[in-house]
Amino acid sequence: QQQQKSNWNGAHSGFASLAAATFGACSAAATVAFCEKSQQQPRSYVQATSPEQIMNHGESDITREEQRLEEAAIKAKKHAGGLKLFSGNGNLALSMEIARTLGINLGKATVGKFADGETHIQIHENVRGKDVYVIQPTCPPVNNNLMELLLMVSTLNRASARRITVVIPYYGYARQDRKMQARVPISAADVARLLEAMGIDRVIAVDLHCGQIQGFFGPRVPVDNLDGGIVG
């Protein structure tokens, strides 16, 4: 029995050595295979790049659909942003130049006359909750331009505009700012009351005939009197 036990122990130790060698070889082979596989697979790592490289990489990855959506967003910003710009017939060229400088489009509106000479105003855009600017000098023909301005402000208020600022490069009736003789009106003050009654929120004027015209408007309507000058 002791001889059989020693033989068994010897065989067992030999088997253990063989198994250990085999397991070591398998482990080495597995390690080599794992290393080769790791070298073949691409590694995921963060590469330090400059902002210019990131921007260029992002531009190259933009698809046509994303580019179309971006262009649509820019177009929507020009047409339906929080700022709206409208103009009467007083100085349409100036209004278009201001819109071009701001990078927005003039609001769509009909400002004309009916067959009997009455002023016709219609706003073709949604102005609810918008910050609206109306560019309309009351230059000759003064009464026509003034009526256009009054009706445009009234229309915008009825269309639920959030804020209305009128830009008046030429303030009509500005020279009638005081009584030079008996039984004459102070027309500059009356025009201010008409505009305030229509519901304007702010006035931007250029080179008023005299500074006290700003006082003809109530405290609820601030007036900015800009000084004109030669550029160049």
Residue 167 sits at φ, ψ, to 5 deg, of -105, 115
Strands 131-135 and 223-226: unpaired
Contacting residues for 145 by C-beta, under 8 A, at least 6 apart: 88, 89, 90, 136, 137, 138, 139, 172
Question: Within a 10 A sphere around the Cβ of 155, how many other Cβ atoms?
Answer: 19
pLDDT, mean of residues 86-112 = 94
pLDDT at 130: 93
pLDDT at 46: 47
pLDDT at 65: 83
pLDDT, mean of residues 40-60 = 51
3-state DSSP call for residue 31? helix
pLDDT at 76: 64
Angle at 229 between CA 226 and CA 232, to 5 degrees: 140
pLDDT at 77: 63
pLDDT at 229: 75
pLDDT for 20-43, tens place per residue?
Answer: 444 454 454 555 455 555 555 555
Contact in structure between 104 and 83 (CB atoms under 8 Å) = yes
Return the structure tokens found at 144.
Answer: 């026509």
Distance of CA 157 to the CA centre of its chain: 23
pLDDT at 19 over 60: no
pTM of the model: 0.65
Give CA–CA dist 148/151, Å, rounded.
5
Compare 13 and 174 and report the one with higher pLDDT.
Answer: 174
Question: How does residue 3 score in pLDDT terms, banded at 50, 70 and 90?
Answer: very low
Distance of CA 94 to the CA centre of its chain: 22
Give CA–CA dist 57/92, Å, rounded.
44
Residue type (1 letter), 157:
N
Give, as one character, the DSSP assignment of residue 140.
S
Return the structure tokens found at 212.
Answer: 């006290």
- SS3 for 203-232 is EEEECCCCHHHHHHCCCCCCEEEECCCCCC
Give CA–CA dist 148/91, Å, rounded.
12
- The pLDDT mean for the chain works out to 80
Compare 64 and 97 and report the one with higher pLDDT.
Answer: 97
pLDDT at 189: 95
Give CA–CA dist 76/151, Å, rounded.
27
Alpha helices in 62-105 (DSSP H): 64-80, 92-102
Contact in structure between 135 and 98 (CB atoms under 8 Å) = yes
Contact in structure between 224 and 202 (CB atoms under 8 Å) = yes
pLDDT for 102-136, tens place per residue?
Answer: 889 999 999 999 999 999 999 999 999 999 999 99
